[in-house]
Amino acid sequence: MTNSSDYVLADEYINNGGTLEPTGRKMPSNDIIGILETIIQQMQRQSLYRDGVSGFSVPVLSADRYVVGFKDDGSLAVGGVEIPSFDNIPPRDAPLCIPIVDSTLDGFVGIGFNPKTGLTFALLDDDSVAYIADKIGGGGTTVPDIRGEWGARVFNPRHYIGDEYNTASVLDKGSRTFDARQIVEGVQDTLVMAAPTVTAIRIALVYGQSNAGLGGSTGRVVNSAPWSFSTWGFAGVNGSSQQGTVPMSASSLTDFLPALDYSAAQSPAICSAYGITQRNAELGRDDPGYIAATAWHGSQPISSFYPNAQSGYWNYENAVTFLQRSVEIAAQYGRTAILDVMQWIQGEAGPTGRDNYATQLDDLFTTILPGFKAATGQADNVQVAIWQTNMSKAASGENYASQGQWDVANNRADCFLAGPMYQFKLGDEPGTGPSTVHTGPEGRLMLGETYADVYSSIVDKGAWNPVQPVSAVLSGNVVDINFEGTPLDAFGAKLAIDSDWVPDTLNHGFTFPGATITAVEITGAKTVRLTLSAVPAVSNRTLRYAIDAFDDVTYWPTRRGNLMVETDRKSGNDSNLLIVFYVQIMPDDLVMQLHRFENDSDFRPSLARCCLRFRLCRSMR
């Protein structure tokens, strides 16, 4: 019978002879039975029965049809996450923790709490570890795959947590072993030498006209990258070279590639990178790695190499783009990049006249060098190695640009006269045969090897002097000439006659228009004596070397000489030819003291018109 004060329970009565008598017990009321019936029907639709799911004591079917609930071991499971019991702690989480969350996939506790220390711990994924390592400079490595077909030259691959590049040990040419880096998500397979970040990669930039770039030379003789891990060009341009007729897009320079010219020609920049690296390997020296780049424009005078607003061409801007992208790409490999020494190869296109050329070249360098420095963000000023150019065999006379080049190198502390170009063998013009002015692939490789000595002296010692006359004394019909230069400073170095590289030249390249030369002899390690047919007139005492045209020999300039410096160095670069020079011997005392670079930075020849164009060369043995 319903209890008016309790709708859940009803009072129990019995029929005793037609009389209802209370028994004192209670029983569920019809109201509560109806409510329970509704609940049970709902549970049957949404839940599972006890013992209906293996491992669960109280399984419940969630709204998204996953089983959640209490498990037989006392843990609580919700989807792929479990709040475990103490019995579930794996040995790796010992000695003690209160598990908060573990994985139903591998059983590891993902988050735990140690009541002894009050600290929690968590298993971190790779992204979390990388983030923490980046913030605190942490370590840790994984073993990645290195892209590319390197074979046994690449070994011990590893990835340091937080790096955007993989690292491997590499075996470079010359049996040099060092670490190199490859961008993890890079398109190229390039591996870049992993020198300390404080040591910047050096940019081997060549700036100038056709002989500076790929002009007029057919083919290449180096057909595979010899220094894959320590010399690079750019992916995106032809041989890391760009002419100034169009602006080069920075986006076209996507990455570094092992330095290798395209099949069209060898470039002085890449050959220079080869030469410097080869020299370092021969001497057992570490090097920072070298990036080759060339901004060039054939048949152009100095005026074409100013910024576009002044010149109308894009040579300067293209050079800046090469420099900026060198820095940006180097950063992707954890490196920096600087331009310490730039090469200047230009002169055949003038302007004509020694003073005119010198004035314009000096102004050009004053204009562009600060911009090159700013492009890399480097602290030190950019220095310049100037190659003394020779005229085309087709030219009717001398434009004396080579003398202006000597003046600029003499008067500017940041410029050095590297040496002459006549020592470098000419090549073939595309479709027309032997060139009259453009160096060939062998000549450009020789330039690169020669430049290695020049560059190293500039960088290591802050100085370089080509082999040049420092005094000329006329006594009767005899002229004694004394020479000096960095190559002559080497132990055992001495003047000699080159007989197996530059073709033989009348009087070895000397001329004296005021008289006939009857003999040329080396009288000392640094001295040469000319004997003349007669005492020259006071008004006609001019001494010249490698500045007048001699016999035409295929693949060689007509303006050349054979006087060289011979040393004990056992390599392809074991001798140096003299620069071209032109000396007007003074009539008053018949003695001409030529300028010594290191002693008088303010000297500028005027009365004597000392046109130095001695050519620095080496014989290939």
**Residue 71 within a domain:** no
Q: What is the pLDDT of residue 26?
A: 76
Asked if the model's pLDDT at residue 385 lies above 50, the reply is: yes
Nearest residue to 583 (alpha-carbon basis) of 488, 510, 484:
510
Residue 218 clears pLDDT 50, i.e. is over it:
yes
Question: How far is 246 from 308, CA to CA, in rounded Å?
Answer: 10
Q: Taking a C-beta distance cutoff of 8 angstroms, is the pair 276, 267 a contact?
A: no
Residue 230 lies in a domain: yes
More confident residue, 436 or 82: 436
What's the CA gap between 508 and 516, in Å, rounded? 14
Bridge-based pairing of strands 542-545 and 56-61 is unpaired
Which of 402, 431, 464 is a domain's end point?
464
Across 240-247, average pLDDT: 94
CB 503 within 8 A of CB 556: yes
Are residue 265 and residue 346 in the same domain, yes or no?
Answer: yes
For residue 443, the domain's CATH number is 3.40.50.1110
| Last residue within a domain, chosen from 29, 46, 63 | 46
> Which of the two residues, 272 and 54, has the higher pLDDT score?
272
Whether 47 has a pLDDT exceeding 60, the answer reads no
Given this model, what pLDDT does residue 611 score?
29
* Residues 222, 223, 225: CA angle, nearest 5 degrees: 85
188 and 205 together in one domain: no
Is 589 within 8 Å of 421 (Cβ atoms)?
no
Cα-based torsion angle of the residue sequence 61, 65, 69, 72 in order, rounded to the nearest 10 degrees: 90
Using the predicted structure, report yes or no on whether residue 584 has a pLDDT greater than 50. yes
How many angstroms separate the first and last alpha carbons of the chain?
A: 127
Sign of CA dihedral 603, 604, 610, 612: positive
- pLDDT of 365-383, one tens digit each? 999 999 999 999 999 999 9
Answer yes or no: do 449 and 484 share one domain. no
Q: Distance between CA 164 and CA 184 in Å, rounded?
A: 6
Same domain membership, residue 243 and residue 179: no
% the chain with pLDDT above 70: 78
Band of residue 600 on the pLDDT scale cut at 50, 70, 90: very low
Residue 338 has pLDDT above 80, yes or no: yes
Question: What span, in angstroms and rounded, lies between the C-alpha atoms of 515 and 513?
Answer: 6
Report the pLDDT averaged over residues 114-131. 67
Q: Residue 143: its pLDDT value, please?
A: 82
Amino acid at 179: D
In this prediction, residues 288-297 reach a mean pLDDT of: 97
Instruction: Give me the pLDDT at residue 570, please.
Output: 55
At residue 593, the pLDDT reads 45
Tell whether 524 and 569 lie within a shared domain.
Answer: yes
Burial environment of residue 250 by CB neighbours within 10 A (0 to 12, 13 to 18, 19 or more): middle
Q: Which has the higher per-residue pLDDT, 207 or 24?
A: 207
CB atoms under 10 Å from CB of 137, counted, come to 8
260-282 burial: b if 16+ Cβ within 10 Å, else e: bbeeebbbbbbbbbbbbbbbbbe
pLDDT at residue 280 in the model:
92
* Inter-CA distances, 488 with 39, 347, 566, 575, Å: 107, 27, 8, 10
Residues 6+ apart with CB under 8 A from 65: none
State how far the alpha carbon of 30 is from the alpha carbons of 3, 25, 34, 35, 206, in Å.
11, 16, 6, 9, 102
Residue for token digits 């075996």? 171
- Give yes or no: residues 392 and 378 share one domain: yes
In a domain, 604, yes or no: yes
**DSSP readout, 125-142?**
-HHHHHHHHHHHT---EE
What residues make up the domain containing 526?
465-621
For 69-109, the pLDDT digits (tens) are 777 776 777 766 666 665 655 554 444 555 556 565 555 66
More confident residue, 46 or 27: 27
Show contacts of 116-125: CB within 8 Å, 24+ apart: 121/97
Average pLDDT in the 602-621 region? 30
Instruction: Give a yes or no: residue 99 inside a domain.
Output: no
Pair 247, 389 in one domain: yes
Task: Looking at the structure, tell me whether residues 365 and 424 fall in a common domain.
Answer: yes
Same-domain check for residues 349 and 275: yes
Band of residue 609 on the pLDDT scale cut at 50, 70, 90: very low
Convert the pLDDT of each residue in 57-68 to its tens digit: 777 766 666 777
In sequence order, the β-bridge partners of residue 193 are 180
On whether residue 558 sits in a domain, the answer given is: yes
Residues 249 and 284 in one domain: yes
Residue 12 binned pLDDT confidence (cut-offs 50, 70, 90): confident
Domain end (from 193, 209, 228): 193
C-alpha distance from residue 219 to each of 224, 240, 439, 443, 535 (Å): 13, 16, 12, 12, 51
Q: Which residues have CB under 8 Å from 213's CB, separation 6+?
A: 206, 241, 243, 267, 268, 294, 296, 297, 298
The pLDDT score that the predictor gives to residue 109 is 64
Flag whether 173 is in a domain. yes
Per the CB < 8 A criterion, the answer to whether 210 and 264 are in contact is: no
Token representation of residue 590: 């018949």
Number of domains in the chain: 4
Residue-level pLDDT at 514 = 85
113 falls within a domain: no
Instruction: Supply the pLDDT for residue 540.
Output: 85
Higher pLDDT, 598 or 397: 397
Q: Is the pLDDT of residue 293 over 80?
A: yes
**Who wins on pLDDT, 309 or 591?**
309
Q: How far apart are CA 32 and CA 596, in angstroms?
A: 118
Residues 457 and 483 in one domain: no
Domain assignment present for residue 442? The answer is: yes
pLDDT value at residue 132: 62
168 Cβ partners below 8 Å, 6+ apart? 146, 154, 155, 156, 157, 158, 179, 180, 182, 191
pLDDT of residue 97: 56
Assess whether 486 and 356 both reside in one domain.
Answer: no
Q: Return the structure tokens found at 560.
A: 């050349």
Q: pLDDT tens-digit profile of 505-539? A: 999 999 998 899 999 999 999 999 999 999 999 88
